[in-house]
Amino acid sequence: MKIKIVKSLSFCILFLLLNACKNSQKKENTNPEQSGNLVELSYANNFNIENFGDFYLLTVETPWPNAEKAFTYLLAKENAEIPGDLDYDQKVQIPIEKMVVTSTTHIPALEALKEEKSLIGFPGLDYISSEKTRKLINSGEIKELGKNENINTEVLIDLQPDVVVGFAIDGNNKTFETIQKTGIPVMYNGDWTEKTPLGKAEWIKFFGAFYDKLEKAEVIFNEIETSYNGAKELAKSAEETPKVLSGAMYKDQWYLPYGNSWQAQFIKDANANYVYAETKGNGSMALSFESVLAKAQDAEFWISAGQFTSYTQLLEESNHYQKFEAVQHKKVYSVSLTKGETGGVLYFELGPQRPDLVLKDLVSIFHPNLLPDYEKRFFKALKE
């Protein structure tokens, strides 16, 4: 009789333990056949999103040029059932409530999604140009975090963001490693590695996933795409394709975009001929003044003329610029004339997210009869 009682108790205890284990793992689905739906990406090549319903797998293929590995991030809703064998680098619960971003190119996406109030810290606040986000900065809602390559980790840790969206030129960022050791996930954004204007803009879907607003992000991107392609089609109707020079001197080198760069794509889509359209490479070309003069002296337009804001300033730097026809005919345009209240250049912040506005600027410059009343957003003619 005693033996039967012991066996009965043992069975009951075993049943309770098994049931407890079952309850503790009810949010972990070990079905290896579970698969999600890939979010459609028409232009971006360096990330993808797989939608599983109550969680996303976001993979950044190229966080920086020549990256040796991709990063996979798990963005899970509360109480999401996560497969036990799922492989990922970092995990965060969505929708995000508190975020730190590290590039001004991230700001417009947050604003477009109406999530700018989730931004609680940024390295280099003076670089931010947006009036909407500057109001939050001025009211003390967004904290200064120092410099991107040397973030003030003490301030950041005190803020306790849900996630830090990192920007890096390589994988040797010790600051991000320190942040991750505290339990705050760092997830890389590689929008700047895309080669096309619409490819960069499509990264709004990256941010849409963090706020569980993918549908809204897709609507926003579709509007940008339609606007961009409309401007591109309009440019095709132009009767002439002017010759265009880009870039500027720094010290004794003239830095210009390669012909396969996103900057050169703008010129092509605006139905103009970039003087170095045949070149290919990453980063920028560095050429001598003499070689650029020989190739582009007769260019009708010169755009992205560095930090110059006036012809007086340009010629004070070097009177040799007067040899270019674009200078003689006052057809030099710079993005440095459109700045935020603390000196940040709006083009570098908003341009990647709104390529349609950039393209319209250039169409209005190269073919003024096609957009006669258009008010340029970024590119402005140099002052006298």
**pLDDT recorded at residue 199:** 97
Which region among 31-45, 237-251, 295-309 has the lowest average model confidence (pLDDT)?
31-45
Confidence check: pLDDT of 24 > 60: no
Confidence check: pLDDT of 284 > 80: yes
**pLDDT recorded at residue 26:** 35
pLDDT band at 201 (very low <50, low <70, confident <90, very high): very high
Confidence check: pLDDT of 27 > 70: no
Spatial strand order of the sheet with 90-94 comes to 37-38, 47-51, 55-60, 71-77, 90-94
Average pLDDT value for residue range 347-362: 97
Tell me: the pLDDT tens digits for 225-240?
Answer: 999 999 999 999 999 9
**pLDDT recorded at residue 11:** 39
Residues 6+ apart with CB under 8 A from 122: 100, 101, 102, 128, 142, 143, 144, 145
pLDDT averaged over every residue in the chain: 90
Average pLDDT value for residue range 190-204: 96
Q: Which domains does the chain have, with CATH numbers?
A: 37-223 (3.40.50.1980), 237-381 (3.40.50.1980)
Q: What percent of the chain has pLDDT over 70?
A: 91
Burial environment of residue 16 by CB neighbours within 10 A (0 to 12, 13 to 18, 19 or more): exposed
Average pLDDT value for residue range 361-374: 96
Confidence check: pLDDT of 20 > 50: no
pLDDT band at 206 (very low <50, low <70, confident <90, very high): very high
pLDDT band at 34 (very low <50, low <70, confident <90, very high): low
Confidence check: pLDDT of 2 > 60: no
Average pLDDT value for residue range 191-218: 97
Tell me: the pLDDT tens digits for 100-141?
Answer: 999 999 999 999 999 999 999 999 999 999 999 999 999 999
Average pLDDT value for residue range 348-376: 97
Average pLDDT value for residue range 58-71: 93
pLDDT band at 8 (very low <50, low <70, confident <90, very high): very low
Tell me: the pLDDT tens digits for 141-188?
Answer: 999 999 877 899 999 999 999 999 998 888 888 899 999 999 999 999
**pLDDT recorded at residue 219:** 98
Alpha-carbon distance values, 352 to 64, 93, 103, 198, 266 (Å) = 16, 27, 12, 8, 11
pLDDT band at 251 (very low <50, low <70, confident <90, very high): confident
pLDDT band at 353 (very low <50, low <70, confident <90, very high): very high
